[in-house]
Structure 1
């Protein structure tokens, strides 16, 4: 693949997923790095993570998609330092005037007032309770959460309101919050989905560079399960000709760790993700690049990706059907084909505030 003018030297982006800082699709001007003509060697520093702050006016994002089992979500952060090269959320950074490439994983936005805004929205008289999803866009347990604690503060709000929540993560920092999650789970108010894409630590480090190792994530599944928190193993994304041979072994490892259910999603390459992914393949697995892309296009009518409802998550055709059959057969054998119990909505009750009139009954 032809090198992009925004390509960044590998030494400067060590530990990052993307290789470029392509201009976002909403920008009027394209930016490119050009030599100034002086033949002087220049040492450029490694790319560091930068965090800015945003004061959100609202936090709950309502979604209307027939492909997903929830209708609302929140995001404590924008961007994700985990740097998964396949992340379908990368294009969201273009709305901020930033690159879905390296900017997505190095120019992060924290939302420190998210807990207060969430509490205000939950108290609104018109609010109708339903399970809230966290981690569907960017990971709430990415590394900066260790210092910021915004996700934990949001969980405290949900606990106090006795509000149901479903969490998706790759971050083992979720173990820190077992003291909140376990009591919520005992009331049927929480469940967790933890993603394990591969058991190969080398492939994981290349593909999802700042995510805890596969073995460490399996240990987190075990800790959550032992604490009585329902955990679903997410084999996602399945990458054709790269991770799909591991499907049965990943499911077996998850079952052994204590997962109570499992799910899978095929690799998705919307908008800017496709060129980022193809460039990554050529850099790390050039011998498999053609085969990987051929399988993906076979499932999407000759395109890298199709956003069609009921199609985009798994594709269609012989290969997609084969992966589905393998998953169903193995999940059934391991007891991972069970549905998780529905989250309870009947316990929701805004906690009283100082000065509120208390009920007589």
Structure 2
């Protein structure tokens, strides 16, 4: 048996230990508290806007709403992984309510996209999160860029955060487009809830703020939400290796070697919605967010015993690695520009 296959065989024992500790059981009370807290804060923001209308001071609530919107996104992520409930129908109902109704994102579109990412993380052919788009992830991808796209790639490390200013709006646009496609499951329910979310948001702004204030509030809210979302999801994989065929064929190595954990205590756990335990999350996607920290020492010990590298760094180190990788990918285009 090769080393890779031996590691995979040991994964069955790891899964048994994790299951025996009860770490895969749904944590409904935790999610009731998390979701209830986010709903309460959102309700307080709405109440404040209805009470103090037409005030520029209300723009101070835009960052608060950006945090709440992102937390709704985290909750929808966990529902999609069946961390809240295992039932197929309750998961679909809750997912559409949270995803479309509260986060303003198509639940069906996101689940399909995210499942593809989980199946083969950092796989250039199948992971949509590293597909060629505004950003590219390898020097080979960068070599094919020309014109404006080439200039963007050459400077993508500097442009990454500014690009995130539009990420939240882009997700809404993708969601709206998806509900117009007839193959989307529960399309009518998704369309209605998405319309209620977006229509309610616009109605709130135009009835509580002047038009200049409403535009400023929306710009601040959505730009900060985009940055928050991007900086929450990026540290887990960006700058981690693209695997060779043998490693990519091994289920355990495929998940561990492409993932990176972020340590920092309870605040990081809350701020990143549990995504700071990326290794444990990828090994056990249905594990509730609140159980990931308990699984971490078990998984780390397993990896150490199996000789599998286990990446865990601070947030600062993770972001530095990601930006360094983006800059390295664009290096060839920068040299080409200088030579020209």
For normalisation by structure 2, the TM-score amounts to 0.25
More strand by share: 1
Higher relative contact order (CA 8 A, sep 6+): 2
TM-score normalised to structure 1 length: 0.24
